[in-house]
């Protein structure tokens, strides 16, 4: 079974631009969560989607948004990029959204903002 | 508020045992996970605890005490390939009633010969 895939793997953008990252979960998984990982802050929760609905949101500004499609694929968008948005963005999928469901992480998208 | 603390770095010798501690404060605790992350790679699942006690899985064991807000990951018979970051994550029931994972900053473990 294929794992979680994320595209693109690497991205370089300029301040003020916007970016869209894509995540395809493991087949059959309906929950997708997004995280930002930086050396200083570690892994921080962005949001979680289940059955096309955002169920939870972390403490990030409104410039960060996401959505989930009917096939469970998810995208996240960052508008008006800032230098501090440079990070590894990780997507994780799980079979369901209950407390015992393990999350499987994708390889991440490395975003560099210049 | 929510807070997870774990040591920043640890070193150990090949073949030895190492214990990585994690303390947490959260309002809606609903389980604790340990993940391993090698440099440049995605985190991979190691263990899950929701009830007090020890969960053993081969060379890895994880312990949880909910009353103390404390967990540890025990790695036995250390191998060089165990050099990685170990992330403690708490599943917290958010304000909307749904769960989210809150990660600690990670413990970077270096195993030397």
Tens-place pLDDT, residues B56-102: 989 999 999 999 999 999 999 999 999 999 999 998 876 655 667 88
The contacts of residue A22 (CB under 8 Å, 6+ apart) are A6, A7, A73, A74, A75
Which pLDDT band, with edges at 50, 70 and 90, does B19 fall under? Answer: very high
Q: Strand B60-65 relative to strand B53-57: parallel, antiparallel, unpaired?
A: antiparallel
Tens-place pLDDT, residues A30-48: 999 999 999 878 899 998 9
Q: Is the torsion defined by CA of B4, B5, B8, B13 positive or negative? A: negative
Q: So what's the pLDDT on residue A95?
A: 85
Mean pLDDT of A84-96: 93
Per-residue pLDDT at A97 exceeds 70: no
Q: Is B82 helix (H, G, I), strand (E, B) or coil?
A: helix
- Report d(CA A1, CA A28) in Å as an integer: 10
CB contact under 8 A, A102 and B89: no
Residue % of chain A over a pLDDT of 90: 75
Q: So what's the pLDDT on residue A96?
A: 77
Q: Is B43 on the interface with A (CB under 8 A)?
A: yes
CB contact under 8 A, A98 and B43: no
The more confident residue out of A100 and B112 is B112
Q: What length is written for chain A?
A: 114
Q: So what's the pLDDT on residue A55?
A: 86
Residues of chain B found within 8 Å of residue A106, distances taken between Cβ atoms: 42
Neighbouring CB atoms inside 10 A of A87's CB total 22
Out of A43, A55, A99, name the one closest to residue B91 (CB): A99
Cα torsion through B89, B95, B98, B104, rounded to 10: -10
**Beta-ladder partners of B52:** none
Q: Is B91 on the interface with A (CB under 8 A)?
A: yes
Give CB contacts under 8 A, 24+ apart, made by A61-66: A66/A34
Is A53 buried (19+), middle (13-18) or exposed (0-12) by CB count in 10 A? exposed
Phi and psi at B26, nearest 5°, equal -155, 150
Mean pLDDT of B26-41: 90
Q: Is B29 on the interface with A (CB under 8 A)?
A: no
């Amino acid at each position: 079974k294929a794992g979680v895939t994320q595209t693109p793997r690497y991205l370089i953008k300029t301040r003020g631009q916007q970016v869209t990252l894509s995540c395809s979960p493991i087949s059959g998984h309906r929950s997708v969560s997004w995280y930002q990982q930086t050396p200083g802050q570690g892994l921080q929760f962005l949001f979680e989607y289940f059955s096309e609905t955002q169920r939870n949101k972390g403490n990030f500004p409104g410039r960060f948004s996401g959505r989930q499609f009917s096939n469970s694929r998810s995208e996240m968008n960052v508008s008006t990029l800032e230098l501090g948005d440079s990070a590894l963005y990780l997507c994780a999928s799980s079979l369901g959204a209950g407390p015992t469901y393990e999350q499987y992480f994708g390889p991440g998208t490395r975003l560099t903002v210049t | 508020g929510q807070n997870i603390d774990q040591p920043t770095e640890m070193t150990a010798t090949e073949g030895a045992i190492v214990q990585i501690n994690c303390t947490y404060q959260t309002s809606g605790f609903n389980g604790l996970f340990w993940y391993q992350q090698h440099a440049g790679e995605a985190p991979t699942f190691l263990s899950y605890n929701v009830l007090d006690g020890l969960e053993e899985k081969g060379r890895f064991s994880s312990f949880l005490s909910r009353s103390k807000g404390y967990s540890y990951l025990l790695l036995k018979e250390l191998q060089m390939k165990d050099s990685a970051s170990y992330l403690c994550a708490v599943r917290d029931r958010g304000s909307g009633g749904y769960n989210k994972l809150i990660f600690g900053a990670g413990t970077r473990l270096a195993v030397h010969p």
